[in-house]
Amino acid sequence: MTTLSQTARSIAATVRRLLRSERGSVSIEFVIIVPMMLLVMLGFTEVYMYMRAVSAVDRTAFTLANTIGQMTSVIPDNTDTTDANSYGSIWQDAVLLAAPYQLKANGMVYVSFVCDPDSKSKCKDMDTSMTAVTPKIQWTASPPSWTNSKSASMASRVSSTSPLPGSWPFRTGDSAIIVEVFLSYNPFVMTSNFKSGLPGQQTLYRRVYVRPRAPRAFF
């Protein structure tokens, strides 16, 4: 009896020691916590990269519109970059502004000029009547050499009948410039290997309206 009692007490003591033992707990915590931390870090990285891409598109559209708005002339059908006022320089500016994203290979840019045309489709001069009129697109330009697999789905989203927002005041002889920037972007490059079914390629888009400082210089 004494031997059985001692054996039982020994087994019970061993079980209590095992229950109180913390050996192996660090390994368990490591296995559980580290993957969760990695997923959180990847999530934050993905959010940052997406916000960075959106910011690049916004910066490109705004800066390009502001630059064109200050030009005194625009040279159409000219891909040469030696003149700052040529189309070629405008497209090159867009590429540089969007870096490090490859806008030429993964995006598109449109520049539209809106004015108040007369019966001969010539933009009217400003007058003092301040009569509200309907804006019309005079021309739309885009880089012809940017034809890529993604640009086919990046057509201009400016309406031909209502190119400006309804709240935009547009009077006789008024004019405006519209810049559109597209960028194809995959927001889940890293985490797509861990989870299937995530959204794929997304098209980022930004449209900016400005008034030209020299409206008669654009045609």
Q: Within a domain: residue 71?
A: yes
Q: Within a domain: residue 183?
A: yes
| Averages of pLDDT over each 10 residues, the chain, 219 residues | 62 60 59 74 83 94 92 72 82 93 92 88 79 90 78 87 90 91 82 58 92 66
Q: Within a domain: residue 15?
A: no
Find, among 71, 39, 93, 79, the residue nearest to 177 by Cα.
Answer: 71
Q: Within a domain: residue 208?
A: yes
Query: What pTM value is reported for the model?
Result: 0.77
pLDDT on residue 209: 95
Q: Within a domain: residue 12?
A: no
Angle at 88 between CA 82 and CA 90, to 5 degrees: 105
If one counts every other C-beta atom within 10 angstroms of the C-beta of residue 93, the result is 18
Query: How do residues 27-50 score in pLDDT, each as one tens digit?
Result: 666 667 777 777 778 778 888 888
- The domain total for the chain is 1
Q: Based on C-alpha coordinates, what's the Rg of the chain?
A: 31
